[in-house]
Every structure is written in structure tokens, then in C-alpha cells.
């Protein structure tokens, strides 16, 4: 059978774009369907604009810190609309680069939604036409969850709308305790809003190392964020322009905006995957093997739609591995172990490898090295912010299996440290590395004392 395309990609996010470009560069006929704009969540409504919002929010505290170094800035003010305009101009520029790179590689961009009509056929919703493809890659990403069991949920906003606020709200309530929730808590607080974080658990950032979770949780409160734990939203009601949320503990909170950041889900609804016979798990994610292959021989999936590790660089590497395997005769699978993560809280988090709890479960005996200290920069600012650094070491061979940092430049530091962890560096390798002084990162190679919990110390 003759097909319209050798490869059809659904979704022009980071993973889909990488796969499409590489496939097209081998001379194959490739098309990408995108219902929004090229760039996907990361560029349009995720990592990139969020990081710019983090930068904007940090300047307010920097103005205060400057006084410790002799600087005085009179009549400083923040223009939200000016910032948002500049930010979206940059987002537009980056989206344009994604589209241009696709076209330069010979990829046809179809600016409309594509859904499966059958295993080899896709229907384009705007034009109504159908196309066929020999191979199909699903790269539609994920979408924010708005729980429909909360009365009045239509009054809330998701992270998507946070990038289009006309003004900084006077008071915002954020529901959730994951990385998106705590990042926006820091952003909104830094921009001058009163922030309340509502979380059903005990400590934010579930899944991260417990020391990291506690450190970030404490810093949120120290910076003025009101944190309500062990509570979940029940109802939302609007009156006189304000929204009142009733919680499961019968407490109420009133704000100008209510942000739900309770997680994301694979964007598979309405995609017609049942018509193609593609299997999903109980969370709606596409089930794939180590080569991103679905149960259908000619269909693959990469990125957040598979709900493996939902990070932009991971989607890129999965898309690249797919193209190398299917179009370059280089069978490649991406290793999902020891992937560095960053959370752009204030201070930010950088981690790679295993948490202490996971390492103890996997290996039994582990050694812990950790420290907390005030960074040098804050000695003159009187800011009480602390840096946390922690090494998780497998006792049997002293391999460093986890590094956890909370503090200035943690994401920048962890990228380099991830190389050592991925290579299997030992604690002795860290110890042999000369310290770079004065720096925060030098603490990673000067930790000598094993941490002993207070309850285990001899009296």
C-alpha cells in the first residue's frame, strides 16, 4: 500500500520535533500535526515562560539584598504587562525557531489537530481531510488536571492560564504540593502577591528526598507563604469578584485567583487511539517498551504522553532514540536512570539519582553525608536562607547514588554533578577532587563526616 507519509508525528513539542527532524534528514517524507503552536508545553506554557517568571520574581528580593552591599535603588516598581509582553515575544521567537527548523529539515507542518481514524489513517479536524502514514509517532504530551469532583471548579485556573495573567493578583490560593505548585508559590510571592498553598499531604514535593522536601517546605513558610496541609478543596464560590474555597477541614480561604496545580495527565482523550488499537494504562498513558514502541507494530509514542519521566530533555532523547532506531539503522533506547531534575523554587532544587529512602530500600546499607549552611552572599544581607547539600552513598562500594541540593544555582551545579553520578563515581572520587573556593559547590567535595541520626548517637 502506498502511504501519504513515511512518518506522521502527532504533536510538535520537543520530542515530536526532534524525531521528525531526524527522520526527515534521512530523506523520508515526514509531516507533523500541531493544533496549537510548535514548541509544545515546554516552550509555550511550561519550562521557558515559567523560568522567565522565576527570574522576574527574584528581582524584588534582590533589591532588598542589594542594601547589604551598599546599593540603594529609589522608586523601584514592577510593570507586569511590560514583563509579560517581553516574555511572550521571546516565546513567539522560540516557537518560530522550532517551526523553521522543521521546515528546513523538510518536514511538512500541518497546523491542525490530528486524530486516528484507523491504525494507518489520521483525520485532520480543521480541514476534514484524511492522510495515511506508514509509521506514526504519538507525541502529544500532557495537560493540567482540573478535578471535576470539586464544586465550582470552573472558577479555578490551571498552570496554562498563569502565563496570561493581566495583573499580579493581590491574593492567590494554590492547590497542590508538586513542583508546579511550589514554583508558582515562589513566583507569586516574589511578585508581591499574598500566597496560600493548600496541600492534602504533610510535606510538599512528594517523591523527592525527605530532607529536600522539609527544606523547601520550611523555606516557603519563611518567605511568607501560608501553607495549609492535610486539606483538600471541596467547593469554590464567587462573590463580589472574590473566590472563596471551602476545604475538607472546614476552613475557608478567599482569594482573587485559585490555581489548581494538582498534577498533569497524558493528553490522550479524544485522540482516537482505540480506533488504532493502541493500549493505554489506567492513567491514560500510552504503554510503550524500552524503544518507545506501542503494542501496534507501526505506532510509537514519546514524551509525557507515555508518563515515564515527564521532562523536556527526556522527551527529546526519546524522540532521538526513536528516529535513530527506525530511520538510521542504529537501534537505540534511552536510559531513564540518573536523570538530573531541577525544581525552580526559591531557593531552587537540583537532584540526581536516588533518594535516601529508595537507596536504603534497594541496597540496605547506605552512608549519608549532608550539610546546611548560609551561603556567603547572604552574610551581608542578613537573609536567613540556608543551603542544603546531601550525598547518598552505597556502603558496599562507596558509589555515590544520589546527590541532592537546595540553594542558589543548584540546577546549574547538578547538571555537572550528574555526569559523575552517571559514570558511577565513588565518594573517594569526590574526595579526591580539589575544591573550588569560595563557592557553594565546593561543599560537595569537602564532606567528610557521615551523618548519624541523633537517636543513634552514643550518649
Domain limits, the chain: 5-144+265-327, 153-262, 341-456
Q: What is the mean pLDDT of the chain?
A: 96
Give yes or no for residue 459 having a pLDDT over 60.
no
Query: Over the stretch 291-336, which tens digit does the pLDDT of each residue have?
Result: 999 999 999 999 999 999 999 999 999 999 999 999 999 999 999 9
Give yes or no for residue 203 having a pLDDT over 80.
yes
Strands 341-343 and 30-33: unpaired
Give yes or no for residue 436 having a pLDDT over 90.
yes
Query: Over the stretch 229-263, which tens digit does the pLDDT of each residue have?
Result: 999 999 999 999 999 999 999 999 999 999 999 99
> Which listed residue (171, 298, 404, 437) is catalytic?
437
SS3 390: strand
Q: What is the CATH number of domain 153-262?
A: 3.50.50.60
Per cent of the chain over pLDDT 70 is 99
Segment 83-98 shows an average pLDDT of 97
Grid-cell match 513539542, residue found: 13
Q: Say if domain 341-456 classifies as CATH 3.40.50.300.
A: no
Give yes or no for residue 190 having a pLDDT over 60.
yes
Grid-cell match 519550562, residue found: 47
Per cent of the chain over pLDDT 90 is 97
User: How high is the pLDDT of residue 457?
Assistant: 64
User: How high is the pLDDT of residue 454?
Assistant: 72
Q: What is the CA radius of gyration of the chain?
A: 24
- Confidence (pTM): 0.95
Q: How far is CA 91 from CA 37, 98, 182, 286, 420, in A?
A: 10, 11, 23, 29, 33
Grid-cell match 550539610, residue found: 371
User: How high is the pLDDT of residue 455?
Assistant: 65
Segment 330-348 shows an average pLDDT of 97
Q: Topology of domain 5-144+265-327, per CATH?
A: FAD/NAD(P)-binding domain (3.50.50)
Output phi, psi for 116, to 5 deg: -70, 135
Query: Over the stretch 29-43, which tens digit does the pLDDT of each residue have?
Result: 999 999 999 999 999
Q: Which of 422, 412, 416 is closest to 445 using CA atoms?
A: 416
Say if 5-144+265-327 and 153-262 have the same CATH topology: yes
3-state SS, one letter per residue, for 329-382: CCCCCCCCCCCCEEECCCCCEEEEECCHHHHHHHHCCEEEEEEEECCHHHHCCC
Instruction: Mark out the alpha helices in 105-243 (DSSP H runs).
Output: 159-162, 179-190, 210-222
* 404 counts as catalytic: no
452 confidence band (pLDDT: 50, 70, 90): confident
Element (H, E) at 5: strand 5-10
Query: Over the stretch 404-433, which tens digit does the pLDDT of each residue have?
Result: 999 999 999 999 999 999 999 999 999 999
Q: Which of 455, 459, 432 is closest to 444 using CA atoms?
A: 432
191 confidence band (pLDDT: 50, 70, 90): very high
C-alpha cell belonging to residue 404:
541532592
Query: Over the stretch 115-150, which tens digit does the pLDDT of each residue have?
Result: 999 999 999 999 999 999 999 999 999 999 999 999
Instruction: Mark out the alpha helices in 14-46 (DSSP H runs).
Output: 14-24, 40-45
C-alpha cell belonging to residue 341:
531534575
Q: CA 276, 281, 284: angle at the middle one, nearest 5?
A: 75
Distance CA 339, CA 193 (A): 34
Amino acid at each position: 500500500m502506498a502511504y501519504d507519509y513515511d512518518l506522521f508525528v502527532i504533536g510538535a513539542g520537543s520530542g515530536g520535533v526532534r524525531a521528525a527532524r531526524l527522520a526527515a534528514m534521512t530523506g523520508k517524507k515526514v509531516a507533523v500535526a500541531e493544533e496549537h503552536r510548535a514548541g509544545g508545553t515546554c516552550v509555550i506554557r511550561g519550562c521557558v515562560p515559567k523560568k522567565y517568571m522565576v527570574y522576574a520574581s527574584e528581582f524584588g528580593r534582590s533589591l532588598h539584598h542589594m542594601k547589604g552591599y551598599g546599593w540603594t535603588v529609589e522608586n523601584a516598581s514592577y510593570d507586569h504587562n511590560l514583563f509579560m509582553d517581553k516574555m511572550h515575544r521571546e516565546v513567539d521567537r522560540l516557537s518560530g525557531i522550532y517551526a523553521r527548523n522543521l521546515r528546513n529539515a523538510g518536514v511538512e507542518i500541518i497546523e491542525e489537530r490530528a486524530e486516528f481514524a484507523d491504525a494507518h489513517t489520521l483525520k485532520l479536524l480543521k480541514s476534514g481531510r484524511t492522510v495515511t502514514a506508514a509509521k506514526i509517532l504519538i507525541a502529544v504530551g500532557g495537560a493540567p488536571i482540573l478535578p471535576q469532583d470539586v464544586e465550582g471548579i470552573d472558577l479555578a485556573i490551571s498552570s496554562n492560564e498563569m502565563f496570561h495573567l493581566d495583573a499580579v493578583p493581590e491574593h492567590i490560593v494554590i492547590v497542590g504540593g508538586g513542583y508546579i505548585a511550589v514554583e508558582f508559590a515562589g513566583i507569586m510571592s516574589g511578585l508581591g502577591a499574598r500566597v496560600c498553598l493548600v496541600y492534602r499531604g504533610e510535606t510538599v514535593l512528594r517523591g523527592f528526598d525527605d530532607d529536600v522536601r522539609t527544606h523547601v517546605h520550611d523555606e516557603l513558610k519563611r518567605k511568607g507563604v501560608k501553607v495549609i496541609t492535610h486539606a483538600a478543596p471541596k467547593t469554590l464560590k464567587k462573590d463580589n469578584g472574590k473566590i472563596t474555597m471551602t476545604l475538607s477541614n472546614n476552613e475557608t480561604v478567599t482569594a482573587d485567583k485559585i490555581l489548581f496545580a494538582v498534577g498533569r495527565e497524558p493528553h490522550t482523550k479524544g485522540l482516537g487511539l482505540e480506533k488504532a488499537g493502541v493500549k493505554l494504562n489506567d492513567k491514560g498513558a500510552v504503554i510503550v517498551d524500552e524503544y518507545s514502541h506501542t503494542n501496534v507494530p507501526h505506532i510509537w509514542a514519546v514524551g509525557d504522553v507515555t508518563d515515564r519521566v515527564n521532562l523536556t530533555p527526556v522527551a527529546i532523547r526519546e524522540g532521538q532514540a526513536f528516529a535513530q532506531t527506525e530511520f538510521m539503522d542504529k537501534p537505540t533506547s534511552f536510559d531513564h536512570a540518573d536523570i538530573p531534575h531541577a525544581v525552580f523554587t526559591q531557593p531552587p532544587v537540583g537532584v540526581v539519582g536516588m533518594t535516601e529512602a529508595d537507596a536504603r530500600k534497594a541496597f540496605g546499607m547506605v552512608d549519608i553525608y549532608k550539610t546546611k549552611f548560609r551561603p556567603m552572599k547572604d552574610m551581608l544581607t542578613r537573609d536567613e536562607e540556608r543551603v542544603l547539600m546531601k550525598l547518598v552513598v552505597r556502603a558496599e562500594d562507596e558509589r555515590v547514588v544520589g546527590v541532592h541540593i537546595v540553594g542558589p544555582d543548584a540546577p546549574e551545579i547538578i547538571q555537572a554533578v550528574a555526569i559523575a553520578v552517571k559514570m558511577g563515581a565513588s565518594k573517594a572520587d569526590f574526595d579526591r577532587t580539589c575544591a573550588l573556593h569560595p563557592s557553594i559547590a565546593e561543599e560537595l567535595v569537602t564532606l567528610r563526616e557521615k551523618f548519624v541520626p541523633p537517636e543513634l548517637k552514643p550518649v
